[in-house]
Structure 1
Amino acid sequence: MGSSLIGLNAASAAAVIVATVIGGQTAPLSAATTENLRSTAIDYPGATSTVARGINDSGQIVGTYSCSAACTRPDTGEVSAAGGHGFLLDNGVYTRIDVPAAGASATTARGISVQGTIVGHYNVGGVTHGFTYSPADGTWVYPIDVPADRFDHPSATLRNTLVINMSPQGYLVGCFHEDSQTMTTMHGWVGRLQRDRDLDDFAVLATIHDPDTMNNGVAATGRIAGFYLSEGVSYIADENGIITTFTFDGNLFTLAWANNARGDVVGVHGDNPANTVGSPVHPRGFLRDGHGDFRDLAVPNATVTQVFGVNDARDVVGSYTDAASKTHGFVARLGNQGNR
């Protein structure tokens, strides 16, 4: 990967990130246009709600669905327990994804690599662990856990590891935090699995804003996209290790969820200002292209639109809420509209 951030060893990567974020500048504002998405709804058969979270260049989509009570697929008779489950949508076929660990629940499929490897996290006994799954050969890797000594308090009872995405080179990104204290103990991380399934080339995204970072996207170029959760300020770590912070036009609360090799970043913004503790108010999706230009993304007639994934062809996935307050997943191909 040459001089990319991902090509650095753990210590060098962490040092570069620390140094560059301090000098990072917020991107200049530009006049955002709005694109009404020509979307296709994604609804896991029989589910109460569905969210699409990741898409690769082959068009394979992963996400989550929930059942308010045990739900039955009308097409196959498959029964899903109440709660959350992951899914894969491949060539129109839905497949449930549940980590087969003892006591596992709440499997969340977050991303899918160009090779078709699914990544995400699940819960056992109140603790969140990461996983990878390759449907082609049925190989699971779990649990994936950040080493205890990297936590702020290594002896904490509940040490949570979330895997959010995976690059073509096999690097994983995500975050870790203690107990339910996401605002005070959360850190973004990057690493990859060794043969013994321990994390290698591991680096923590240490910044002057720490704790509170979450790494969500990692492109083939090695660029990472993420955000400072409580502040609603997003960032990019580029291939030279430089970090740029940005917010949607008007300095609004902005959460970057994914990026691609052409430099696009997608995510969710609210009407509320950044640097306020909370979450996006009246959430809408956004695109930030490689030139720093923004675009509002909205599913027509939806009360809420959120964008969580993008591939190199600018296919985006996410969720929307309709007038009846039901949440659906969606996929859409972005138009040009002046963005390059």
Structure 2
Amino acid sequence: MGKKARIEHFSRMLSFVFSVILVLVFICNIGSVSAYTYITVDYPSAINTFFQGINDSGQIVGYYDDTDSTSHGLLYDWPKGEFLRIDYSETSQTILYDINDLGQVVGIHRDGSGDSPFLFEKNGLQGLPLYQGHTTVYEGINDSGYIAGYHSYYYYSTHIHGVVCDLNKNSCQDIHYTEARHTYFHGINDLGQMIGEYQDWNGNWHGLLYNTGNQQFQPVEHDWFRATLCDINTSGQIVGWSGDNGILYDPRTGEFQTLKYPGADLTRLYGINDMGQIVGWYSNESGSHGLIVLPGTAEVPLPPSLLLLASALISFPILKKRRAQ
């Protein structure tokens, strides 16, 4: 074989090797994709079950509806598979929103006079303060005893403002974004970051992050007309919902993705812990069901056409050599 022929042969081999590498890289990239495991949990004999918050120990809080359409608070110890019913009183309905790693729970009880916030812990139940006497809802609690929520605020007309309270100091602070007509906060992580949304004066909705440390606001933009951002963990992952689907924000990509229970008419995501475990609920023809969403990866079977292509590329030099013989 002459020098020129050897160079041409070497060039063809380089092209072939490069093609094989491209195909293998493509195959490896689609061989596994991000996936989620969905787990359904129903309170025994309940008509509907709703999960709202989860701590790092896997304790989940929420509520369920009985056959009389009365709502009862629930605490589900996921590792043990045990439920605990929590009612503020026998004459009111109870909804639990969040639980921290100390087992402290925030919620509301509802009776003829309206909604009233409360705290549940080992020592029992106790009412929480109404900010300046206004209707107040606390939906998030962190391990430092800070609770986040919102309250009605009257200034010529009714507005909604955010609020954060330090249970250890028994002090609360009004939190309102200056560009907003209404400000809502639903969750708070152990870094003191609060998540929620605000409505501007044109009626448009935007996600909103507030840092209690430096007292700075940061709008969280998304592509939906309205999204409710419900919780944030210490990694900056945010869960919530928009339209009929749950949503998850990944700070590594700066993007939201849609999560939906297979076959569900409606999916809502409300809580996320520091392991990335998510809770919420979904609805279908049989009612509403508690939902746990686990992050992970799943192997995806390769299309037969790609396997055939890879096999052909690998076999090509062998067949060519046999023909030459």
TM-score by length of 2: 0.73
Q: What one-letter code is carried by the residue in structure 1 that aligns with 2:163?
A: W
Aligned residue in 2 for 1:93: 82
- Secondary structure of 1:46 counterpart: coil
For the 8 Å contact 1:319–1:330, the answer to whether it is kept is yes
- The verdict on how the C-alpha distance between 1:106 and 1:210 changes in structure 2, with shifts beyond 3 A counting, is farther
Residue identity opposite 2:295 in structure 1: L
- Tell me whether 1:293 sits opposite 2:264 in the alignment: no
Give unpaired runs (5+ residues) of structure 1: 1-33, 70-81, 149-158, 271-282
Displacement of 1:241: 3.0
Q: Deviations over 1:103-145 (max 9, x none)?
A: 75121100001111111111233222111111xx342221432
Gaps of 5+ in 2: 1-32, 299-325
Q: Which residue of 2 aligns with 1:311?
A: 273
Structure 2 residue identity aligned to 1:267: G
In structure 2, what is the equivalent of residue 13 of structure 1? none
User: Does 2:106 align with 1:119?
Assistant: yes
* Aligned counterparts of 1:320 and 1:176: Cα–Cα separation in 2: 27
2:94 counterpart (103, 107, 114): 107
Measured after TM superposition, the shift of residue 301 of structure 1 is 1.2
| Whole-Å separation in 2 of the counterparts to 1:262 and 1:255 | 19
Residue of structure 2 in register with 1:141 after alignment: 126
By relative contact order (CA 8 Å, sep 6+), the higher-ranking structure is 1
Cα deviation code 1:221-243 (max 9, x no counterpart): 11110112674321111353332
Helix, strand or coil: the match of 1:302?
A: coil
1:35–1:161 CA distance, 2 compared to 1 (3 A): farther
Q: Distance in 2 between matches of 1:41 and 1:168?
A: 27
Which residue of structure 2 lines up, in the alignment, with residue 54 of structure 1? 53
Find the partner of 1:267 among 230, 240, 245: 240
Are 1:184 and 1:212, in contact at CA under 8 Å, matched by a contact in 2?
A: no
Q: State which of 326, 329, 335 in structure 1 corresponds to 2:287.
A: 326
What is the CA-CA distance between 1:170 and the residue it aligns to?
A: 0.3
Q: Percent identity?
A: 28
CA separation of 1:296/1:125 partners in 2, compared to 1, >3 Å: closer, same or farther?
same
For residues 203-255 of structure 1, what are the alpha-carbon distances to aligned partners after superposition, in whole Å with 9 as ceiling and x for unaligned? 1111234442111111011111011267432111135333222243x343211
Report Cα offsets for 1:258-290 as digits up to 9, x if no partner. 0000111110012xxxxxxxxxxxx21111122
RMSD of aligned alpha carbons: 2.5
Deviation string for 1:137-188 (max 9, x for gaps)? Answer: 342221432123xxxxxxxxxx321111111100011111279xxx942211
Q: Distance in 2 between matches of 1:304 and 1:35?
A: 22
1:325 CA displacement: 5.0
- The answer for the alignment partner of 2:10 in structure 1 is none
Q: SS at the partner of 2:296?
A: coil
Structure showing greater Rg: 2
Instruction: State how many pairs are aligned.
Output: 258
**Partner-residue secondary structure (3-state), 2:190:** coil
Indicate conservation of the 8 Å contact 1:174/1:188, yes or no. yes
**Counterpart contact for 1:173–1:217, Cα < 8 Å:** yes
Sort the Cα spacing of 1:193 and 1:320 in 2 relative to 1 into closer, same or farther, 3 A: same
- Correspondence for 2:144 among 164, 169, 173: 169
> What is the match of residue 27 of structure 1?
none
- Residues 104/35 of structure 1: CA separation in 2 closer, same or farther (3 Å cut): farther
Answering whether residue 125 of structure 2 is matched by residue 131 of structure 1, we say no
What secondary structure does 1:185 align onto?
strand
Name the structure 1 match of 2:64: 65
What's the TM-score, normalizing by structure 1? 0.70
Q: For 1:132 and 1:237, locate their aligned partners in 2 and report how far apart those are by CA, in whole Å.
A: 23
Letter in 2 for 1:213: T
Which amino acid letter does the alignment assign opposite residue 175 of structure 1? Y
Distance verdict in 2 for CA 1:146–1:104, change over 3 Å: farther
Match of 2:71 in 1: 84
Answer yes or no: is 1:217 the counterpart of 2:187.
Answer: yes
Distance 1:213 1:294 in 2: 21
Q: CA distance change for structure 1 residues 269 and 191 in 2, over 3 Å: closer, same or farther? A: same
Moved more, 122-131 or 59-68: 122-131
Helix, strand or coil: the match of 2:97?
Answer: strand
Residue 240 (1) aligns with residue 202 (2): no
